[in-house]
């Protein structure tokens, strides 16, 4: 029996550990040939020397299971190295079909204490890293489609977070980057649809070194499966990368512990019209102040409330 991704080639960034590793293993299990990308720094804040160890270990694990994989240790936030990554997949496997963007770092700080470097570094790795690989994969697919005169097979799965949905007080850089990734994904989905390419974004809730603080009070259960295990997320990535998901494009999906929730685009919560040509202060006060009078002080928009989700 053929596998759903047999004959396909994939790139998974940030695949040396945690969620990215689980995704790379799942794509390989489904038949894909995988380029395992990881810069290999030891610190979750992007500190430490780059190392080929994590990417090489995962690639070796795939090969030991009978799959095809190679390691790539470039920094995806570097424009040139991202181009090399896409080129490596095309050279090794004859093309590229699937791109899973997962690489990221954390440098948490309250907004009033955050340094310029803490902001720039997180935006660079998460948002620019997603853009860089997407840009070169998209160019490859567009060129192939123009050559053939027909749509190609292309799948992009990006990684956001509920920090963007529900807020995260100590992560303004991370939340902003993840929100930007959602915007990048929906724009990419519209731009590439005519070439046969889909782009979707997931908000995974999983226990990794990136989320060890978030889930510090939620240990793995003594009995039964861990609802925060990365293995709950990987199957959705494999599915979105597969042929069955051809009609799924520009979607935001929250996933964890045996649950997926498809998030709608924001809807208008309330609407007020001016009685005159334009509003003034007093009319806005008369309309909006009562609307928020019964809400807790400092309440923010939280799309996650619709899903009944807590922050993750």
The catalytic residues are 161, 174, 178
Pairing of strands 252-256, 33-37: unpaired
Separation in Å, CA 80 to CA 23, 41, 90, 100, 174: 24, 19, 16, 18, 24
Pairing of strands 98-100, 154-159: parallel
Q: How many CB atoms lie within 10 A of CB 278?
A: 6
Q: How many CB atoms lie within 10 A of CB 153?
A: 18
User: How far is Cα of residue 205 from the mean position of the Cα atoms in its chain?
Assistant: 11
Can you tell me whether residue 211 is helix, strand or coil? coil
Pick from 208, 207, 210, 232: which is nearest to 218 by CA? 207
Stretch (H or E) spanning 224 = none
18: which 2 tokens?
């945690």
Stretch (H or E) spanning 199 = strand 197-204
The span from the CA of 173 to the CA of 106, in Å, is 9
The span from the CA of 250 to the CA of 257, in Å, is 23
Q: Determine contact, residues 122/173, Cβ cutoff 8 Å.
A: yes
Pick from 291, 285, 287, 261: which is nearest to 272 by CA? 287
Q: How many CB atoms lie within 10 A of CB 267?
A: 7
The span from the CA of 82 to the CA of 74, in Å, is 7
179: which 2 tokens?
């929100």
């Amino acid at each position: 029996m053929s596998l759903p991704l047999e004959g396909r080639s994939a790139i998974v960034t940030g695949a040396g550990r945690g969620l990215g590793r689980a995704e790379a293993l799942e794509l390989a299990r489904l038949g894909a040939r995988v380029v395992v990308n990881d810069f290999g720094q030891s610190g979750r804040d992007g500190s430490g020397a780059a190392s080929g160890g994590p990417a090489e270990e995962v690639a070796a694990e795939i090969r030991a299971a009978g799959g095809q994989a190679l390691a790539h240790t470039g920094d995806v936030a570097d424009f040139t190295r991202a181009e090399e990554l896409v080129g490596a997949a095309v050279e090794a496997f004859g093309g590229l079909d699937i791109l899973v963007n997962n690489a990221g770092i954390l440098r948490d700080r309250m907004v009033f204490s955050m340094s310029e470097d803490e902001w720039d570094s997180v935006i660079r790795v998460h948002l620019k890293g997603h853009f860089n690989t997407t840009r070169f994969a998209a160019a490859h697919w567009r060129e192939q489609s123009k050559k053939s005169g027909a749509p190609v097979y292309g799948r992009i799965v990006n990684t956001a977070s509920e920090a963007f949905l529900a807020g995260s007080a100590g992560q303004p850089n991370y939340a902003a980057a993840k929100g930007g990734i959602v915007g990048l994904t929906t724009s990419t989905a519209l731009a590439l649809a005519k070439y046969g390419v889909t782009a979707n974004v997931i908000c995974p809730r999983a226990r990794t070194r990136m989320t060890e603080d978030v889930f510090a009070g939620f240990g793995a259960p003594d009995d039964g499966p861990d609802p925060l295990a990365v293995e709950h997320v990987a199957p959705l990535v494999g599915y979105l990368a597969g042929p069955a998901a051809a009609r799924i494009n520009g979607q935001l999906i929250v996933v964890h512990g045996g649950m997926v929730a498809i998030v709608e685009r924001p809807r208008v919560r309330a609407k007020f019209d001016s009685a005159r040509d334009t509003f003034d202060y007093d009319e806005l006060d008369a309309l909006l102040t009562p609307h928020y009078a019964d809400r807790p002080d400092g309440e923010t928009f939280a799309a996650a409330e619709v899903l009944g989700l807590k922050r993750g």
